Amino acid sequence: MSETSPSAPGMTETSPNEAKVRIRFAGGTLQVEGIVGIPDWMPEFLQNDPHGAEGAWVCPGIAYRSLIERLMAANVAREDQAREYKAIAWKLDTGRSSFPHQIEAVDAWWTAGGRGVVVLPTGTGKSHVAELAIERAQRPSLVVTPTIDLMQQWARDLAANFGTEVGMLGGGSSDIRPITVTTYDSAYLNVERIGNKFGLLVFDECHHLPGQTYSLSALGSIAPFRLGLTATPERSDQMHEQLDHLIGPILYRREIGQLKGEFLAQYQVRTLYVQLSDEERFAYETNRELYRTFLLENRIDLRRNGAWGQFLATAARTPRGRMAFKAFRDHRTIALAAPAKLRVLEGIMDRHMGDRVIVFAHDNATVYRIAREFLVPVITHSTKARERKTVLERFASGDYTVVATSRVLNEGVDVPEANVAVVLSGTSTVREHVQRLGRILRKKDDKQAVLYEIITQGTLEENTSTRRRQHSAYAGPGSESEYGA
């Protein structure tokens, strides 16, 4: 039985009397020696090693599984010095039963050979799917997360549920254990020294993985088992297509509408429209015309790839260009931070007094303005870890009923008590909007959740809202629009 077989407890070696193909791990690559000539079984991913002896070959660490499978299929003897881990009989004990969709997800993953992506909405227990996968794979496991906060949260939960000490790599910690949690930054920076120490990689919020740097953590690792977790795999740059190679294909997917009610809270989505004042409208249109004229004069189409960089480079060359860039920023600020939005926000807060409300804004300036006007705590990228922890704990306990934030609470915050979200402004990405909705959908008793989206009518925000609502979660009778202030 081989390391790559789902039922295998470990790798077996062939007869020591036979000539062997030797495999070593070195800095994210595999060095392969002992191949005589160019045999029929030789995989196309092996490249001649220009720095090695005659007959020496190299390939990325990610090719380890395929290489072993080729050697086994051809009955070629091997000496595996690459893998520095053994099977471990993990025993998971969470004290609760798994949901049907969690069991289905890990079964689909295992049936597919222990490689692939599971897509589940926020709040439906993706982390438990990872725990089930760790128990099923019976291998040392590395969990990769987007932030230090999430790394620490994962480490606490895994330690409690597996009854073992869990290592952390990142945020000042460098403790490698059979179960270790790290960040995307630390994973790629350390792959050369840890890429052969784990048999299972778990990528939380795996839509972050594709790219020139983060992908190195997958490319340089030999782990034959890989699991990706996300609620929103698709990326506007289409780089999510790399996930098939880095982790495996999407093999199980459930959307919010399929799980709401039983596993997610029931919810409504309400879009509220506000108007600009005459003075604001004049300023908005004047600035919009100025920057659009500049784009036309310089034949820049912002819908094309690379056009934003072209705009910035062209605008930086002349005073007129710099005026056009300022006009772009000003017209956008007028729409996103319209004063009428705060009047609507005040009404929402009055209507939901006693509920737990998260207010999302696109920029920190608006977040701090909300804090000053409504005397509510804020969480931004500059909020210290201890203060952030205190704010979330007091929000969970009910000491605080409202928290304002920019983008830092889009991912990985477990606040089951939150039942109202207000999107004051944001980007056009579907991912961000679905993540913000997900913050209030964690099931708790008979919770009814509501997401408010406040849009400035007759501005760029209307198109932004239309684009980011291209998801099944925003269709159906639970969505409605109101036109007001």
Looking up residue 400, the CATH number of its domain turns out to be 3.40.50.300
Same domain, 47 and 72: yes
Beta pairing, strands 29-33 & 57-60: antiparallel
User: Is position 365 within any domain?
Assistant: yes
Residue 18: predicted pLDDT: 55
User: Is position 129 within any domain?
Assistant: yes
Same domain, 300 and 239: no
- Dihedral, CA of residue 288, residue 290, residue 293 and residue 294, to nearest 10: -110
Residue 133: predicted pLDDT: 98
Same domain, 324 and 288: yes
Same domain, 153 and 190: yes
pLDDT tens, position by position, 398-438: 899 999 988 777 665 667 678 898 988 866 567 777 777 77
Edge to edge, what strands does the sheet with 225-230 contain? 173-174, 167-170, 179-183, 141-145, 200-204, 225-230, 115-119, 250-253
Q: Where a domain ends, among 319, 336, 353?
A: 336
Same domain, 332 and 342: no
* Stretches in the chain below the pLDDT threshold 70: 1-19, 52-54, 410-414, 416, 426-429, 468-485
User: Is position 260 within any domain?
Assistant: no
What CA–CA distances, in Å, run from 481 to 1, 162, 437, 455? 60, 47, 16, 10
Residue 428: predicted pLDDT: 55
Same domain, 326 and 412: no
CB 60 within 8 Å of CB 219: yes
Q: Where a domain ends, among 336, 357, 385?
A: 336
Instruction: Report d(CA 34, CA 226) in Å as an integer.
Output: 29
pLDDT tens, position by position, 28-66: 999 998 888 888 888 889 988 877 666 789 999 999 999
Number of domains, the chain: 4
Same domain, 44 and 172: no
What CA–CA distances, in Å, run from 263 to 101, 161, 255? 9, 21, 11
Range of the domain at 128: 100-254
